[in-house]
Amino acid sequence: MDSKSHFESAVVYEIFKKVWARSSEGTDIIPKEETEDTENVEDDSLVILGANAAAGPSRKPRSTTANANALKLTCELLKLFVSETVQRAAMVAEAEGSTEIDGSHLERILPQLLLDF
């Protein structure tokens, strides 16, 4: 794989936003500037108020954030994961005498790959 290829932080950031929004149904994704409690939030952060925030007056809203360094690290980990997946699937395909990777090759390597990561 090309050493210059990488995942864009913005794409990973959008994936995080969608996953967090789905996991906390009924919540709003709020830009950092619009929140009151931003002392511990980094500049390039996302704030999602949890669904439990509106549950009662005694609960303080909790937020989920991801700073720029966490996104960079996630991008690098994703790059390594995809690279390792392709390499392992290629080894299985080569052992079977195939020149292309197909779904059956991925099915064979995914259980061990997930355990390794």
pLDDT in tens, 61-108: 566 777 888 888 889 999 999 999 999 999 999 999 999 999 999 999
pLDDT in tens, 4-21: 567 788 888 888 888 877
**Model pLDDT, residue 47:** 53
pTM of the entire structure? 0.58
Identity of the amino acid at 61: P
Q: Is 36 exposed, middle or buried, given 0-12, 13-18 or 19+ CB atoms closer than 10 A?
A: exposed
50 and 61 Cβ atoms separated by less than 8 Å = yes
| H helix or E strand, kind and range, residue 29 | strand 29-31
